């Protein structure tokens, strides 16, 4: 079960064409408005539109960096929704780009129960906070008075457009609300943070357990007793004497340590692990 701090909003059926048509119409209308009786101030909506995709990437990067800083794993980062147009890996992290750059999400999972509720809330809030930080930086560079004034300077207009787009996204994401999609309920970051603080502990236990069960299974599949030892030690540090993990470790130890608990490197599995897994 993945833990998504940002919602997956894949469209289906005619919704894909509706989104594409609305985007094309918006671009054409915006260009027409700018060309007709051109004034520099009319460039602000253009810069807002151009900033949208980078802001989505920045927002999701905020989720990602917060999760990693708090010791969580991140499974993937997705920008956009709809049909996938590109897939690549950045420092071991799968990144996917989709057709419509209107939303995105990352998939982090907790690896420990220590402070899991407030860490979860911080992961949710990190996306809007990094955008708000960008607005504050622009204010510091441009100045409050000039940022709020009408101007013909294209650079300032660009900063105004980017700041406004970022603020709109921050407000939209922090308002607690949810919507039902074909993938289940999607929550804004604001609602997600509130729910994270009251989420049942059992759900977090299941998420953490899944991470460590996968590492144990990978060690068994690779026939790597040393990796199994490491995975068992980390799992017990994270969850203690969890009965589900104990059962899985029993099978793993039996398969890779049939000669008294020696792993593939000749290192003995800890007595605590053998006693609980046995």
Task: Give a three-class secondary structure readout of the chain.
Answer: CCCCCCCCCCCCCCHHHHHHHHHHHHHHHHHHHHHCCCCHHHHHHHHHHHHHHHHHHHHHHHHHHHHHHCCCEEEEEEEEEEEEEEEEEECCEEEEEEEEEEEEEEEEECCCCCCHHHHHHHHHHHHHHHHHHHHHHHHHHHCHHHHCCCCCCHHHHHHHHHHHHHHHHHHHHHCCCEEEECCEEEECHHHHHHHHHHCCHHHHHHHHHHHHHHHHHHHHHCCCHHHHHHHHHHHHHHHCCCHHHHHHHHHHHHHHCCCCCECCCCCECCHHHHHHHC
- Listed by start position, the domains of the chain span 15-199, 202-277
Q: Does the structure show a pLDDT above 90 at 102? A: no
pTM above 0.75, yes or no: yes
Model confidence pLDDT, tens digit, residues 199-251: 999 999 999 999 999 998 888 888 777 788 888 888 888 888 788 888 888 77
pLDDT at 18 over 70: no
* Mean pLDDT of the region 72-82: 86
Averaged pLDDT of the chain: 79
Question: Once rounded to an integer, what is the mean pLDDT over residues 40-47?
Answer: 72
Mean pLDDT confidence for 169-190 = 78
Average pLDDT over residues 86-95: 88
Residue 262, CB-side half-sphere exposure with 13 Å CA sphere: 5
Angle in degrees, CA 188, 193, 199, rounded to 5 = 115
Report pLDDT for 132: 95
pLDDT band at 27 (very low <50, low <70, confident <90, very high): low
Give 145-179 pLDDT, tens digit per residue: 888 888 878 888 889 989 999 999 999 899 898 76
- Each residue of 265-274: pLDDT tens digit? 455 555 655 5
What pLDDT, on a 0 to 100 scale, did the predictor assign at position 119?
95
Q: Which pLDDT belongs to residue 156?
A: 87
* 66 has a pLDDT exceeding 90: yes
Higher per-residue pLDDT: 118 or 83: 118
- Tell me, what's the pLDDT at 8? 46
Check residues 50 and 267 and name the one with the higher pLDDT: 50
């Amino acid at each position: 079960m993945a833990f998504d701090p940002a919602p997956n909003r894949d469209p289906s059926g005619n919704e894909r064409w509706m989104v594409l048509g609305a985007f094309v119409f918006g671009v054409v209308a915006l260009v027409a408005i700018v060309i007709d009786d051109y004034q520099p101030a009319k460039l602000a909506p253009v810069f807002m539109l151009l900033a949208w995709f980078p802001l989505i990437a920045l927002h999701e990067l905020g989720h990602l960096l917060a999760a990693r800083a708090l010791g969580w794993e991140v499974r993937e980062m997705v920008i956009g929704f709809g049909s996938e147009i590109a897939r690549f890996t950045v420092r071991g992290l799968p990144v996917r780009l989709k057709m419509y750059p209107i939303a995105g999400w990352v998939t982090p999972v907790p690896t420990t129960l220590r402070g899991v509720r407030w860490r979860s809330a911080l992961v949710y809030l990190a996306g809007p906070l990094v955008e708000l930080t960008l607005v504050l930086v622009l204010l510091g560079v441009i100045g409050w008075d000039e940022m709020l004034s009408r101007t013909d300077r294209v650079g300032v207009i660009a900063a105004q457009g980017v700041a406004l787009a970022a603020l709109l996204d921050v407000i939209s994401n922090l308002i607690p609300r949810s919507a039902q999609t074909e993938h289940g309920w999607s929550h804004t970051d604001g609602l997600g943070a509130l729910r994270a603080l009251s989420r049942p502990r059992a759900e977090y236990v299941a998420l953490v357990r899944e991470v460590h069960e996968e590492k144990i299974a990978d060690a068994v599949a690779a026939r790597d007793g040393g990796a199994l030892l490491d995975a068992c030690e980390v799992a017990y540090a994270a969850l203690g004497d969890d009965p589900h993990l104990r059962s899985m470790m029993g099978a793993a130890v039996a398969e890779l340590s049939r000669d008294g608990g020696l792993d593939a490197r000749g290192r003995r599995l800890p007595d605590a692990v053998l006693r609980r897994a046995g």
